[in-house]
């Protein structure tokens, strides 16, 4: 695993708002670690999760499945 990025740095890297990234992490759609109130992201894991999400959007609903091991645990 490489360096972990904070919420502001990861959102800048992705070109998304901090709120969007926080919401995606809280809903389990983007993997992260939470240290107190801080969100920490592994850039490679986030990129993989977003690529998988993009691939799922091209599938029919019957083909989609949610991975319960993803997301940001409380």
If one counts the domains in the chain, the total is 1
Q: How far apart are CA 1 and CA 64, in angstroms?
A: 27
pLDDT band at 38 (very low <50, low <70, confident <90, very high): very high
Q: How far apart are CA 8 and CA 37, in angstroms?
A: 13
Q: What is the pLDDT of residue 56?
A: 83
Residue 45 structural domain: 5-54
The answer to whether residue 67 sits within a structural domain is no
What is the mean pLDDT of the segment spanning 5-12? 97
The model's pTM is 0.73
The answer to whether residue 21 sits within a structural domain is yes
């Amino acid at each position: 695993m490489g360096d972990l990025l904070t919420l502001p740095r990861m959102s800048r890297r992705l070109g998304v708002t901090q709120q969007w990234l926080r919401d995606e992490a809280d809903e389990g759609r983007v993997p992260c670690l939470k240290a107190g109130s801080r969100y920490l992201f592994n850039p490679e894991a986030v990129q993989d999760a977003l690529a998988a999400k993009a691939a799922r959007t091209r599938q029919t609903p019957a083909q989609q499945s949610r991975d319960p091991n993803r997301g940001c645990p409380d």
